[in-house]
């Protein structure tokens, strides 16, 4: 059982599935004439409504169900002081699903916490209106053919308009959405939407650009092929570039690691360095095994199953995501192995090796450097 309280409760996949079903109902209404047979919808409208209430009632009747409820708080026990929770508990005895509109933000959510039947938010104060949002998304998809990469304008009461708030939230889940907001100063969009939703949108736009950077793009594809979600397990070069994009500085560790970070930013490759005195002579490049972990540098145990890892006889020492503490570089290291992880047949690899050699000689006083490519 699921409630529909806030558009953010729905994933992109959920939305797409609901819109596909809506299109199918419109094209083939006869298929759905009895899907709600013997089911009852309770419309609990604590404030006046024409379109939303009649839409719910008509939809339930079209699906073969029946409707009961009230159209204003005055015609319910709320007028005598009954709480939303108590009203919902009573209605649960009579209906199979609840559609609630209420002037107070959060009232449908409260109702959902006290019943064992689905609750649909039909509008709560200036907060959310998820079913109107789904209708808007369906219209946009029909007209534009997509729900990403377009500019949308909102004009009027952006402060209290729940339909605006809901639609902005839902669109924040899609890539490439640009917003034009037009309103008097006293009716501007609420601060929580600016901070939460628009920040996510800016991050999403930034994410889209990072994902297309050469060598990072190929790394993400490789991770998918290995069975790892590249948005959860990022290659270290991607993580560094995102950190810069968020206005954060780079970590200052030691000269060798700082050089690695510089190479990663310039070329898009993940780079790891290991203290040769702490690893065995024979190294192999393999995929992390089921349940395999190691202690990361400055981190707890890191799951490395399905990740590309560098390992010796004792186990993995590093990966293109995060290295282990066992072979980490310290100021005492005298012999260092630096590995540039590449997942593509890229000419940039040789350039990255040249960068690394130049920077290590210049900033770390490194000598007796040897470079080679292992395929």
- Is residue 52 annotated as part of the catalytic site, yes or no? yes
98 occurs within a structural domain: yes
- Is residue 129 annotated as part of the catalytic site, yes or no? yes
**230 and 357 assigned to the same domain:** yes
274 occurs within a structural domain: yes
**204 and 225 assigned to the same domain:** no
Provide the CATH number for the domain around residue 261. Answer: 3.50.40.10
The contacts found for 295-302 with CB under 8 angstroms, 24 or more apart, are 295/324, 295/325, 295/326, 296/322, 296/323, 296/324, 296/325, 297/322, 297/323, 297/324, 297/325, 297/328
Catalytically annotated residue among 38, 51, 232, 370? 51
368 occurs within a structural domain: no
Please tell me the distance from the alpha carbon of residue 137 to that of residue 19, in angstroms, as a whole number: 8
Provide the CATH number for the domain around residue 164. Answer: 3.40.50.1370
Q: What is the mean pLDDT of residues 76-97?
A: 91
Short-list 286, 289, 291, 290, CA closest to 312: 286
Please give the pLDDT value at position 267.
80
Please give the pLDDT value at position 197.
65
Catalytically annotated residue among 53, 129, 162, 234? 129
What are the φ/ψ torsions at residue 295 (nearest 5 degrees)?
A: -80, 120
**244 and 346 assigned to the same domain:** yes
The tens digit of pLDDT for each residue in 136-146 reads 999 999 999 99
141 occurs within a structural domain: no
What are the φ/ψ torsions at residue 164 (nearest 5 degrees)?
A: -65, -50
86, 105, 133 - which closes a domain: 133
Catalytically annotated residue among 43, 52, 133, 135? 52
pTM score: 0.54
Dump the DSSP string for 220-262: HHHHHHHT--TTTS--HHHHHHHHHHTTPPPP---HHHHHHHH
Catalytically annotated residue among 3, 101, 169, 220? 101
**204 and 92 assigned to the same domain:** no
**236 and 201 assigned to the same domain:** no
**168 and 299 assigned to the same domain:** no
Catalytically annotated residue among 27, 38, 80, 232? 80
Q: In what order do the strands lie in the sheet with 308-312?
A: 284-287, 308-312, 315-319
**224 and 357 assigned to the same domain:** yes
- Is residue 80 annotated as part of the catalytic site, yes or no? yes
Q: Please tell me the total count of domains within the chain.
A: 3
107, 133, 159 - which closes a domain: 133
**70 and 91 assigned to the same domain:** yes
**Model confidence band, residue 317 (pLDDT cutoffs 50, 70, 90):** very high
Task: Count other C-beta atoms under 10 Å from residue 239's C-beta.
Answer: 15
150, pLDDT greater than 90 = no
pLDDT top residue among 111 and 1: 111
Percent of the chain whose predicted confidence (pLDDT) is above 90? 45
**104 and 193 assigned to the same domain:** no
1 occurs within a structural domain: no
Domain that holds residue 34: 7-133
Task: Count other C-beta atoms under 10 Å from residue 142's C-beta.
Answer: 12
246, pLDDT greater than 80 = no
372 occurs within a structural domain: no
**234 and 177 assigned to the same domain:** no
139 occurs within a structural domain: no
66, pLDDT greater than 80 = yes
**17 and 98 assigned to the same domain:** yes
Please give the pLDDT value at position 195.
66
**350 and 272 assigned to the same domain:** yes
123 occurs within a structural domain: yes
Please tell me the distance from the alpha carbon of residue 276 to that of residue 311, in angstroms, as a whole number: 12
Please give the pLDDT value at position 87.
93
255, pLDDT greater than 70 = yes
pLDDT top residue among 204 and 90: 90
């Amino acid at each position: 059982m699921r409630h529909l309280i806030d558009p953010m409760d729905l994933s992109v996949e959920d939305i797409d599935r609901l819109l596909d079903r809506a299109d199918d109902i419109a094209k083939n209404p006869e298929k759905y004439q009895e899907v709600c047979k013997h089911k009852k919808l309770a419309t609990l409208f604590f404030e006046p409504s024409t379109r939303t209430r009649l839409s719910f009632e008509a939809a339930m009747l079209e699906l073969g169900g029946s409707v009961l409820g009230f159209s204003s708080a005055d015609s319910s026990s709320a007028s005598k002081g009954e709480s939303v929770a108590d009203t919902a508990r009573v209605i649960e005895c009579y209906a199979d699903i609840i559609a609630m509109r209420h002037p107070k933000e959060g009232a449908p959510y409260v109702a959902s916490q006290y019943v064992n039947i689905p609750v649909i938010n039909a509008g709560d104060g200036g907060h959310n209106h998820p079913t109107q949002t789904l209708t808007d998304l369906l219209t946009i998809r029909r007209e534009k053919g997509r729900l990403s990469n377009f500019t949308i304008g909102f004009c009027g009461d952006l402060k209290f308009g729940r339909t605006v708030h809901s639609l902005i939230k839902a669109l924040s889940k899609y890539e490439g959405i640009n917003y034009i907001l037009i309103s008097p100063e006293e009716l501007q969009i609420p601060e929580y939407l600016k901070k939460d939703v628009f920040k996510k949108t800016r991050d999403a736009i930034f994410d889209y650009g990072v994902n297309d950077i050469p060598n990072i793009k190929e790394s993400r594809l490789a991770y998918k092929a290995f069975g790892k979600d590249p948005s959860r397990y990022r290659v270290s070069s991607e993580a560094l570039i995102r950190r810069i994009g968020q206005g954060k500085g780079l970590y200052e560790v030691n000269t060798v690691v700082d050089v690695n970070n510089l190479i990663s930013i310039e070329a898009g490759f993940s780079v790891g360095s290991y203290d040769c005195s702490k690893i065995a002579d024979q190294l192999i490049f393999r995929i992390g095994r089921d349940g395999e972990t190691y202690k990361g540098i400055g981190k707890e145990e890191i799951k490395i199953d399905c990740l590309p890892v560098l390992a010796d006889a004792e186990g993995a020492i590093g990966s293109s995501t995060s290295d282990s503490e066992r072979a980490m570089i310290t100021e005492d290291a005298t012999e260092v192995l630096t590995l540039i992880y590449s997942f593509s047949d890229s000419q940039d690899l040789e350039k990255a090796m040249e960068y690394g050699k130049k920077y290590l000689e210049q900033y770390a006083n490194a000598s007796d450097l040897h470079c080679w490519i292992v395929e």
